[in-house]
A = this chain, B = another copy of it.
């Protein structure tokens, strides 16, 4: 089974019209009338972003969902994605492997209404590396940015925070996870796309490297400070069950792919309605203030110190 057979057999069925059947040098993406193309790209490396023991059919889905989460953060609608596979040379990748990998992608492509439009397959002496670059459509003036947070805004997050970081430890047999909820949150995040928050939030980003570190990105880009109330940060019952000693890990752990939002108080009802329409829980966790950086306080108002605020690769 050669490279071109694999493309023909496994990837061509995933390809949308813009892919030109994956048989040309480029895809041709048609921009929706009056919109710009939002572009994001993510690399996932075995042992860094996923585990060799993760089910094969979750690998492509996780990659796609992480990328979708970036579109969600900007308020863009999915148009297509390209996929780069870099496969270890020493291993045998069977038809069954590609079938599992692609069936996961097919499921998510359908769910999120996004086709494959191109890609590249290569080999390496190292671990498996997956890249996707994703394309969405958005009106330029409606794109959500990190730099729009205003003093007086309230800070909100979707979903629950810290599950993925605990899920990774569960998958490494360091923590228990009797329901499997935490592991699933690590393997299959839920990108919060199509919430239509462009006239509601002043600033948005997705939480990929950890709440505290990512809050600092918004603070810096907007020239403000963010005050986070640790006890207000929503936890899942699976995370709660592991006890309060994991608080800092939850607040600084990556891979949640929830949205961090700065919203003026008079837009609270609109925010809740927009999220409710998609069954997404949203929680008020702090406020935007003058100054710079991020302060995280406990319920007594004591500020918490983080040795590590989030993930950096080097």
Contact = CB atoms under 8 A, between A and B. Distances in A.
Interface string A37-65: 11111111101110000000000000000
Contact of A205 (B25, B38, B93, B125): B25
Interface size, A (range): 35 or more
A82 B39 contact: yes
A21 to B, nearest CB: 9
Given A87-B314, A145-B24, A312-B3, A126 B123 contact: no
Contact of A41 (B29, B133, B313): B133
Contacts of A38: 26-29
Given A31-B36, A48-B123, A26 B70 contact: yes
A279 interface: no
Interface stretch (A135-143, A157-165, A176-184, A239-247): A135-143
A124 interface: yes
A39 B25 contact: no
Contact of A313 (B42, B70, B123, B146): B123
Given A23-B147, A125-B126, A313 B43 contact: no
A86 B129 contact: yes
Given A82-B133, A314-B87, A41 B124 contact: no
Given A39-B82, A120-B41, A47 B125 contact: yes
A25 B125 contact: no
A76 B133 contact: no
A23 to B, nearest CB: 5
A28 B20 contact: no
Given A2-B314, A70-B26, A124 B120 contact: no
A24 B39 CA distance: 10
Given A25-B74, A124-B127, A2 B39 contact: no
A23 B217 contact: yes
Interface string A235-258: 000000000000000000000000
Contacts of A47: 125
A145 B20 contact: yes
Contacts of A2: 312, 314
Contacts of A140: 28, 30
A93 B86 CA distance: 22
A292 to B, nearest CB: 15
Contact of A86 (B39, B43, B73): B43
Instruction: Give the 5 A-B residue pairs with the shortest CB-CB distance, closest first.
Output: A126-B126, A31-B31, A26-B38, A25-B73, A25-B70
